[in-house]
């Protein structure tokens, strides 16, 4: 429960609520920022612009590019294995398509490759399905309604990404989007629908049409468990858990030809030979960029990024991190956890210590986050938690008044439960929030066929960069993993029919290690990280 | 389960060493709080550890020096990786919870159940009927349910597990789907079931049958797919892709917004 001091402050929120509700019902909203205003707030307050938080990469395809220090640390690091110590002729798995990562993108890829007749191996460092997909709450965008179009979706996404998105990738994303929803509907996904089958859709930050499709506030979990169930139905797909890929294998022609796995429990190393390989390892939240808490799952340590970079893949926009505007800061046990944007889509406002609005609730995420940071640190209108965190109120009880009693329990059951565990009923009391590290906007360069710059190596999902430009809109990542997961699956399976891998080699890792040594980089560190280390600490 | 720290020398990346963090950002958003206040004893698989009083089971286990391999996933109560059972002093009761969501109590006696064997039927969802015949064919053991309600008591999500199993058994697929919607498939129900039923796999089968065969298909969605196939949007898309940044900025600023 809230402390007496916080309960006292909540009275101020309650005092201004009736007036705010009245205005909202009349369609009067806190004004949106103009594009210029938004840009200014970003430059002054967004963590991406903080001095000293980045440095230039010292080697590899993106040498000289600025990236967060935490990303530079894992890229300027040695392979965790001694490339000379492994017998690459002793092959443990010989497959058509290797999928690294068993989240949404990996499973969508595996299913699609399997349908094409490929023999597929999926490897993952945690359990099948443990991923950021599982945690996505709000929904998945697609221009499925008559008043909407893929071109509108394209424009909204471009604007959200500050016009830095790759046009070809974005075309693929938005044109394939309705097909992605149909793919999920066809699998038997419990989408929110009206009686007549019409899909229920809502706004998300930065959307000009209501195109957010959902499954309660468990959209990602529903997608993940359904994909997982279907993968388990397919005899052509084998899944190996707790066995991350720790280095890619190239062949003597410099094409990707598989990977080295490490069984985390026996510590045994395994050799996979694959005609084509897909990296679907997700993002970097658990690197805790600039020390921020994160919404991400335990395994989000950007392993695939490291493997791809060492193998010679270029990266894009690695300097752009997404901070989700509404991360929990109270109770302390839940710090960093996500409160879906759908809560604001349903009419909830952000208010400061005086119970006053200070920002339009559905600005693009980076602008919204920056405005919250400004409110707390420049204008000093934040609310302090007992552990010294600063944040603002997310006035969830508004939903019950605007949409009818019981709406929160019906539409946000998971969030309601999460807070009830700490005796906070969010249908009656507001939540305390502050931006939290949410998404890796940039990543491995791909083309619309999901191909990386290394032959026979594909990538899909959060590990890639370019689709979302410098800032992703809500609902475009669940879409991204399905669209590009399926594209990677389809194209890798087709390619696998023509490929005969040559002699397996770790020469690229050896060269990378030498280069580090020559340049005096890395300080003896190794990567990928695989799992964060919270032993002996309170994470 | 977790591994006690110290084994993974080779793969350890020492973040803190290479990236000095600016002081003020630490104050803004430090992920690791110094433990304050009271410490209490908990027993992890029979072994006693003194840990900060207000943390979750997951954070307490880490504080005690473990680095999870199994038994830890999303850390947000939705993935089902960290099912935990425990007893408290002076009570015969077996309690359940998710390690990432349950706050510790003094003398809690606990273990995680990160894995429990479960049978999963293979099926082609397109071919299956949304009725009792499919349920009995795939999971005949459902008929052994003795309505003891142990599954419901074992659910960390507080779902009415027995009710959805019974609904499935009665062929009420819709009810089973809706009652099981919030299932996170942690497996604690199956670990406690005297009839050896795997409740959560029945749940997802019902949800898929219901969604696939009983909910109406979205007509507007298939209309849209047809329009895309026919190339209805190709022209607009081409135009949009050819726009320079300035033109795009203008179009973006001027676009009309559907009322909330």
Residue A412 lies in a domain: yes
Are A165 and A468 spatial neighbours (Cβ–Cβ below 8 Å)? yes
Q: How far is CA A122 from CA A105, A238, B94, in A?
A: 11, 6, 36
What is the CB-side half-sphere exposure of residue A26 using CA atoms within 13 A?
Answer: 8
Rounded to an integer, what distance in angstroms lies between the CA atom of residue A164 and that of residue A40?
Answer: 17
Whether residue A374 lies within 8 A of chain B, CB to CB, comes out as no
The verdict on A266 and A214 lying in the same domain is yes
- Token digits of residue A438: 């949410």
Tell me A277's DSSP state: E
Among A397, A414, A437, give the residue marking a domain's end: A437
The verdict on A353 and A369 lying in the same domain is yes
Average of per-residue pLDDT values in chain A: 96
Asked which of A207-211, A330-334, A517-521 is least confident by mean pLDDT, the reply is: A330-334
The verdict on B136 and B208 lying in the same domain is yes
Q: What is the nearest CA distance from A65 to chain B, expressed in angstroms?
A: 17
Q: Considering only CA atoms, which of B128, B114, B147, B141 is closest in space to residue B201?
A: B141
CA dihedral sign, ordered B14, B20, B22, B27: positive
Rounded to an integer, what distance in angstroms lies between the CA atom of residue B138 and that of residue B206?
Answer: 11
Rounded to an integer, what distance in angstroms lies between the CA atom of residue B205 and that of residue A235?
Answer: 18
Q: Considering only CA atoms, which of A440, A458, A460, A467 is closest in space to residue A174?
A: A467
Rounded to an integer, what distance in angstroms lies between the CA atom of residue A384 and that of residue A392?
Answer: 9
Of B5, B11, B120, which is closest to A536 when you measure between CB atoms? B5
Residue B8 lies in a domain: no
Interface of A with B in 386-445 (CB under 8 A): 387-390, 413-414, 417-418, 421-422, 434-436
The verdict on B108 and B137 lying in the same domain is no
Cβ contacts of B259 on chain A, cutoff 8 Å: 27
Maximal CA-CA distance, chain B? 73
With a cut of 70, say whether residue A269 has pLDDT above it: yes
- Region A297-317: mean pLDDT is 98
- Token digits of residue B187: 């497996």
- Region A110-133: mean pLDDT is 98
Are A293 and B76 spatial neighbours (Cβ–Cβ below 8 Å)? no
Q: Considering only CA atoms, which of A144, A179, A222, A193 is closest in space to residue B217?
A: A193
The verdict on A276 and A363 lying in the same domain is no
Domain count, chain B: 2
Put simply, the answer to whether A70 touches B15 (Cβ < 8 Å) is yes
Residue A417's pLDDT is 85
- Region B167-171: mean pLDDT is 97
Cβ contacts of A149 on chain B, cutoff 8 Å: 233, 236
With a cut of 70, say whether residue B7 has pLDDT above it: no
Q: Is the peptide bond before A528 cis (omega within 30 degrees of 0)?
A: yes
Annotation marks residue A344 as catalytic: yes
Residue B248 lies in a domain: no
Are A370 and A44 spatial neighbours (Cβ–Cβ below 8 Å)? yes
The verdict on B148 and B193 lying in the same domain is yes
The verdict on A368 and A463 lying in the same domain is no
Cβ contacts of A167 on chain B, cutoff 8 Å: 241
The verdict on A271 and A399 lying in the same domain is no
Among B114, B143, B168, give the residue marking a domain's end: B114
Among B70, B78, B259, the residue to mutate for chain A (most A Cβ within 10 A): B78
The verdict on A336 and A187 lying in the same domain is no
Residue B166 lies in a domain: yes
Q: How far is CA A323 from CA A10, A368, A530, in A?
A: 25, 9, 22
Annotation marks residue A497 as catalytic: no
The verdict on B147 and B191 lying in the same domain is yes
With a cut of 90, say whether residue A514 has pLDDT above it: yes
Of B20, B33, B74, which is closest to A134 when you measure between CB atoms? B74
Q: How far is CA A403 from CA A376, A396, A407, A411, in A?
A: 29, 11, 6, 11
Rounded to an integer, what distance in angstroms lies between the CA atom of residue A452 and that of residue B128?
Answer: 39
Residue B119 lies in a domain: no
Residue A380: count other Cβ atoms within 10 Å of its Cβ: 10
Residue B21's pLDDT is 37
Q: pLDDT by residue (tens digit) across A189-237?
A: 999 999 999 999 999 889 999 999 999 989 999 999 999 999 999 999 9
Q: pLDDT by residue (tens digit) across A39-72?
A: 999 999 999 999 999 999 999 999 999 999 999 9
Residue A428 lies in a domain: yes
Q: pLDDT by residue (tens digit) across B186-241?
A: 999 999 999 999 999 999 999 999 999 999 999 999 999 999 999 999 999 999 99
Put simply, the answer to whether A150 touches B237 (Cβ < 8 Å) is yes
| Interface A-B: count of C-beta contacts within 8 A | 312
Active-site residue, selected from the candidate residues A213, A273, A344, A508: A344
With a cut of 60, say whether residue B28 has pLDDT above it: no
Whether residue A312 lies within 8 A of chain B, CB to CB, comes out as no
The verdict on A239 and A352 lying in the same domain is no
Cβ contacts of B76 on chain A, cutoff 8 Å: 135, 295, 297, 334, 337-338, 418
Rounded to an integer, what distance in angstroms lies between the CA atom of residue B6 and that of residue A314?
Answer: 34
List A412's β-bridge partners, or say none: none
Put simply, the answer to whether A533 touches B216 (Cβ < 8 Å) is no
Residue B240 lies in a domain: no
Put simply, the answer to whether B11 touches A530 (Cβ < 8 Å) is yes
Put simply, the answer to whether B248 touches A163 (Cβ < 8 Å) is yes
Residue B4's pLDDT is 55
Residue B1's pLDDT is 53
Put simply, the answer to whether B66 touches A332 (Cβ < 8 Å) is no
CATH number (domain holding residue A406): 3.90.700.10
Query: What is the domain extent for residue A376?
Result: 4-49+322-437
Rounded to an integer, what distance in angstroms lies between the CA atom of residue A152 and that of residue A140?
Answer: 15
Put simply, the answer to whether B25 touches A536 (Cβ < 8 Å) is no
State the ipTM, two decimals.
Answer: 0.92
| Confidence band, pLDDT 50/70/90 cuts, at residue B96 | very high
Are A96 and A113 spatial neighbours (Cβ–Cβ below 8 Å)? yes
Residue A314: count other Cβ atoms within 10 Å of its Cβ: 17
Residue A88 lies in a domain: no
Query: What is the domain extent for residue B167?
Result: 132-214
Are A187 and B237 spatial neighbours (Cβ–Cβ below 8 Å)? no
Residue A364's pLDDT is 86
Residue A80 lies in a domain: no
Residue A76 lies in a domain: no
Question: Using N-to-C axis directions, what is the helix angle for B245-254 and A150-160, rounded to 10°?
Answer: 110
CA dihedral sign, ordered A327, A330, A335, A338: negative
CATH number (domain holding residue A279): 3.50.50.60
| Contact partners, residue A412, CB within 8 Å, separation at least 6 | A216, A217, A340, A342, A343, A399, A426
Residue B48 lies in a domain: yes
Q: pLDDT by residue (tens digit) across A142-195?
A: 999 999 999 999 999 999 999 999 999 999 999 999 999 999 999 999 999 999
Rounded to an integer, what distance in angstroms lies between the CA atom of residue A538 and that of residue B9?
Answer: 21
Closest chain A residue to the Cα of B57, Cα to Cα: A333
The residue count for chain A: 539
Of A158, A209, A218, which is closest to B258 when you measure between CB atoms? A209
Closest chain B residue to the Cα of A201, Cα to Cα: B260
What is the CB-side half-sphere exposure of residue A445 using CA atoms within 13 A?
Answer: 13
Residue A138 lies in a domain: yes
- Token digits of residue B159: 């779902």
CATH number (domain holding residue B91): 3.10.20.740
Closest chain A residue to the Cα of B206, Cα to Cα: A188
Of B14, B224, B233, which is closest to A144 when you measure between CB atoms? B224
Put simply, the answer to whether A526 touches B72 (Cβ < 8 Å) is no
The verdict on A385 and A238 lying in the same domain is no
Among A137, A190, A261, A470, the residue to mutate for chain B (most B Cβ within 10 A): A190
The verdict on B94 and B145 lying in the same domain is no
Domain count, chain A: 2
Among A415, A437, A459, give the residue marking a domain's end: A437
Active-site residue, selected from the candidate residues A162, A286, A324, A486: A324
The verdict on B58 and B91 lying in the same domain is yes
Among B214, B240, B255, give the residue marking a domain's end: B214
Cβ contacts of A199 on chain B, cutoff 8 Å: 218, 220-221
pTM for the predicted model, two decimal places: 0.93
Closest chain B residue to the Cα of A301, Cα to Cα: B13
With a cut of 90, say whether residue B27 has pLDDT above it: no
Residue B122 lies in a domain: no
Put simply, the answer to whether B218 touches A193 (Cβ < 8 Å) is yes
Q: Report the phi/psi class of residue A303: left, alpha or beta, with left for phi > 0 and alpha for psi in -120 to 50.
A: alpha
Residue B224 lies in a domain: no
Q: pLDDT by residue (tens digit) across A373-429?
A: 999 999 999 999 988 899 999 999 999 999 999 999 988 888 898 898 889 999 999
The verdict on A312 and A454 lying in the same domain is yes
Q: How far is CA B129 from CA A234, B65, B126, B214, in A?
A: 19, 50, 8, 10
| Confidence band, pLDDT 50/70/90 cuts, at residue A138 | confident
Phi then psi for A15, rounded to 5 degrees?
Answer: -65, -35
The verdict on A243 and A358 lying in the same domain is no
The verdict on B56 and B86 lying in the same domain is yes
Whether residue A226 lies within 8 A of chain B, CB to CB, comes out as yes
The verdict on A315 and A329 lying in the same domain is no
Among B177, B195, B214, give the residue marking a domain's end: B214
The verdict on B97 and B43 lying in the same domain is yes
The verdict on A337 and A364 lying in the same domain is yes
Residue A86 lies in a domain: no
């Amino acid at each position: 429960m809230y402390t007496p001091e916080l309960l006292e402050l909540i009275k101020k929120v309650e005092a201004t609520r009736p007036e705010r509700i009245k205005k909202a019902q009349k369609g009067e909203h806190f004004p949106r920022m103009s594009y210029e205003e938004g840009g200014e707030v970003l430059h002054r307050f967004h963590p991406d612009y903080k001095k000293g938080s980045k440095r230039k990469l010292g080697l590899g395809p993106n040498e000289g590019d600025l990236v967060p220090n935490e990303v530079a640390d894992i890229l300027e690091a040695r392979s965790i294995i001694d490339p000379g110590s492994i017998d690459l002729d002793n092959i443990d798995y010989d497959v058509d398509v290797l999928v690294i990562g068993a989240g949404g993108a990996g499973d969508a890829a595996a299913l699609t490759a399997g349908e094409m007749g490929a023999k597929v191996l999926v490897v993952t460092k945690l359990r099948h399905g443990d991923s950021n997909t599982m945690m996505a709450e709000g929904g998945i965008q697609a221009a499925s309604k008559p008043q909407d179009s893929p071109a509108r979706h394209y424009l909204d996404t471009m604007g959200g990404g500050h016009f830095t998105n790759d046009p070809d990738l974005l075309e693929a994303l938005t044109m394939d989007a309705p097909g992605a929803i149909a793919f999920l509907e066809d699998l038997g996904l419990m989408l929110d629908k009206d009686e007549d089958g019409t899909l229920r859709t809502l706004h998300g930050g930065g959307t000009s049409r209501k195109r957010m499709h959902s499954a309660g506030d468990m959209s990602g979990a529903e997608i993940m468990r359904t994909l997982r169930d279907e993968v388990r139905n397919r005899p052509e797909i084998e899944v190996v858990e707790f066995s991350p890929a720790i280095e890619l294998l190239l062949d003597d022609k410099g094409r990707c030809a598989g990977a080295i796995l490490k069984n985390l429990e026996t510590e045994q190393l395994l050799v996979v030979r694959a005609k084509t390989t897909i990296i679907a390892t997700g993002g970097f939240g658990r690197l805790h960029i600039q020390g921020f808490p994160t919404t991400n799952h335990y395994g989000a340590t950007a392993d695939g990024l490291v493997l791809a970079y060492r193998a010679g893949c270029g990266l894009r926009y690695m300097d752009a991190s997404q901070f989700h505007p509404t991360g929990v800061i109270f109770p302390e046990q839940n710090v960093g956890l996500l409160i879906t944007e759908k809560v604001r889509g349903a009419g909830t406002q952000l208010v400061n210590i005086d119970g006053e609005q200070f920002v339009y609730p559905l600005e693009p995420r980076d602008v919204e986050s920056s405005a919250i940071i400004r409110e707390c640190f420049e204008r000093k209108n934040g609310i302090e938690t007992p552990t010294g965190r600063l944040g603002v109120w997310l006035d969830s009880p508004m939903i019950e008044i605007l949409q009818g009693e019981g709406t929160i329990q019906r539409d946000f059951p998971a969030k309601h439960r999460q807070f009830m565990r700490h005796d906070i009923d969010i249908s009656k009391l507001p939540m305390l929030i502050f931006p939290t590290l949410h998404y890796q906007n940039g990543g491995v360069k791909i083309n619309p066929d999901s191909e990386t710059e290394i032959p026979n190596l594909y990538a899909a999902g959060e590990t890639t960069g370019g689709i979302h430009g410098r800032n992703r809109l809500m609902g475009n990542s669940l879409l991204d993993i399905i669209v590009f997961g399926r594209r990677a699956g389809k194209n890798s399976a087709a390619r696998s029919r023509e490929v005969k891998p040559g002699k397996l080699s770790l020469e690229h890792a050896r060269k990378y290690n030498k280069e580090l040594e020559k340049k005096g980089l890395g300080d003896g560190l190794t990567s990928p990280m695989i799992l964060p280390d919270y032993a002996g600490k309170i994470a | 389960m977790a591994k006690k720290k110290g084994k993974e020398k080779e793969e350890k990346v020492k973040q803190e060493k290479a990236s000095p963090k600016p002081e003020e950002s630490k104050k803004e958003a430090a992920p690791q709080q110094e433990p304050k206040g009271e410490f209490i004893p908990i027993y992890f698989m029979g072994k006693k550890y003194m840990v900060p009083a207000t943390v979750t089971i997951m954070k307490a286990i880490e504080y005690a020096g473990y680095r999870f391999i199994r038994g830890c996933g999303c850390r947000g109560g939705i993935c089902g990786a960290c099912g935990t059972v425990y007893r408290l002093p002076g009570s015969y009761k077996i309690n359940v919870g998710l390690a990432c969501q349950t706050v510790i109590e003094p003398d809690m006696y606990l273990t995680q159940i990160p894995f429990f064997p479960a049978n999963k039927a293979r099926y082609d969802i397109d071919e299956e009927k949304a009725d009792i015949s499919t349920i009995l064919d795939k999971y005949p053991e459902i008929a052994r349910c003795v309505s003891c309600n142990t599954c419901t008591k074992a659910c960390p999500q507080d779902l009415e597990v027995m009710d959805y199993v019974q609904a499935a058994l009665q062929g009420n697929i819709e009810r089973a789907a809706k009652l099981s919607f919030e299932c996170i498939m942690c497996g604690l129900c199956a670990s406690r079931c005297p009839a050896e039923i795997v409740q959560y796999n029945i749940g997802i089968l019902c949800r898929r049958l219901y969604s696939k065969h009983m909910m109406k298909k979205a007509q507007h969605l298939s209309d849209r797919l047809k329009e895309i196939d026919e190339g209805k949007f190709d022209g607009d898309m081409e135009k949009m892709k050819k726009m320079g940044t300035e033109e795009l900025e203008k179009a973006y600023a001027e676009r009309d917004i559907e009322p909330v």
